[in-house]
Amino acid sequence: MATELLSELAAKVAIGERLSIDEGRALLEARDLIQLGMLASDARGRRHGARATFVRVCDVPLGDAAMAELPLETAGELRLVGEPASREDAIEAVRALAARSGSVPVTGFALQTLYDLAGSDDALVGLLASLKAAGLAAVAEASADRIIARGASLAPLVDARMPLARLVVEQPVEAAGAPAWLADLRGLQAESPVIRAVAPLARQQPGDVPTTGFDDVRLVALARLLLDNVESIQANWRRSGAKLAQVTLMFGVDDLDDVPARDPRDLGPRRSSLEEVRRNIRAASLEPAERNARFERLTR
């Protein structure tokens, strides 16, 4: 039964046909992780071939935007981090950083933070336009949990023509609810197609019961299979750690976010973050390709 279902779904994935929530549930129930991973890998391969991208990121605290030392030679994204006190602070920080960023794109802020500063969807469109004019290449992230809980939409991003670098997840998604939750995200993207990448692994882990490796890679695989209108499924290099991040590449992830643009100390060329991420991607039988925050390919 499970084998029949899997071959049926494999045939659908092979021709790029959409999987339903019920089919997502059936995949969960089959509990065959290796087959699920193979299906998700096929789906990833259809979109991205044998390539996996990564981006080297430098976090810049808002208060340091005008003076932080910037690793412009190595970073593919300068990401403003922190909560601006006002719209003006946000715009000023972007302007200050963009003035010093050369060709490295500047991203920053969580969508919710900007919404809180703006107060309404209309005002948010205006704020996004101002941030864009100041040099913001993309909003760094939006929290899927908050958007779904608030019934909010991503329409202001579309209206302001502002890209969203990634949709992130705060709290772990319970396995049984994952197909329906992914279908909600698929609907969100259908309404306002600004999500370039989804990072499905939760940022916060309950101390007593963190997600397991099985939970993580299964969710990643389901995300790849059900989010057929999202280009990239992403894993976070720093948060997940090299080992898990690499394993997710076998389960549908095509993009590794948050590779450090600066190594904490001189690790030598063979152990630098750049070499480590490339080595991990190759050991997953994929070709590494460095990108920037605009998803433009970098040759370094």
Partner 1 sequence: MSIQAIAENAVAGGRVTADEALRLYLDAPTSMLAEAADAIRARKHPEGIVTYIIDRNVNYTNVCVARCNFCAFYRTVGSSDTYVLAFEEIFRKIDETIAVGGVQLLLQGGHNPDLPLEWYEDLFRAVKRRYPGFKLHALSPPEVIHISRMSRLAVERVIERLMTAGMDSIPGGGAEILVDRVRKQLNCYSKATADEWIDVMRHAHRAGLRTTATMMYGSVDAEADRIEHLLRLRDLQDETGGFTAFITWSYQPENTELGGYERTGIEYLRTLALARIVLDNFDNLQASWVTQGGKVGQLSLLCGANDMGSVMIEENVVRAAGASYCMDEVEIVRNIENLGFVPKRRNMHYERLGDPLFREQDIPRRRALDTAKSDADPLMPDELSRYAARSRSARVMRGQP
Q: Quick check: 219 binds partner 1 (CB under 8 A)? A: no
Q: Quick check: 172 binds partner 1 (CB under 8 A)? A: no
Tokens read off for 185 = 């995200």
Q: How far is the C-alpha of 20 from the C-alpha of 183, rounded, in Å? A: 8
Candidate list 110, 152, 244, 289; residue touching partner 1; CB under 8 A:
244
Candidate list 1, 103, 190, 268; residue touching partner 1; CB under 8 A:
268
Nearer to partner 1, 180 or 267 (CB): 267
Q: How far is the C-alpha of 146 from the C-alpha of 226, rounded, in Å? A: 20
Triad 226, 291, 239: Cα angle to 5°: 65
Q: How far is the C-alpha of 125 from the C-alpha of 120, rounded, in Å? A: 9
C-alpha gyration radius of the chain: 19
Cβ–Cβ < 8 Å for 253, 224: yes
For the CB of residue 33, give the shortest distance to partner 1 in the complex, in Å: 6
How many chain residues bind partner 1 (CB under 8 A)?
32
Q: Quick check: 270 binds partner 1 (CB under 8 A)? A: yes
Cβ–Cβ < 8 Å for 13, 39: yes
Cβ–Cβ < 8 Å for 218, 244: no
Q: Quick check: 177 binds partner 1 (CB under 8 A)? A: no
Q: Quick check: 236 binds partner 1 (CB under 8 A)? A: no
Contact string (CB under 8 A) for partner 1, positions 247-266, x = contact: x-xx----------------
For the CB of residue 233, give the shortest distance to partner 1 in the complex, in Å: 17
Triad 217, 57, 178: Cα angle to 5°: 25
Nearer to partner 1, 2 or 67 (CB): 2
Handedness of CA 57, 198, 91, 158 (dihedral sign): positive
Q: Quick check: 246 binds partner 1 (CB under 8 A)? A: yes
Candidate list 1, 4, 15, 34; residue touching partner 1; CB under 8 A:
34
Site of interaction with partner 1 (CB under 8 A): 31, 33-34, 37-38, 41, 209-210, 212-217, 241-244, 246-247, 249-250, 268, 270-271, 275-276, 279-280, 283-285
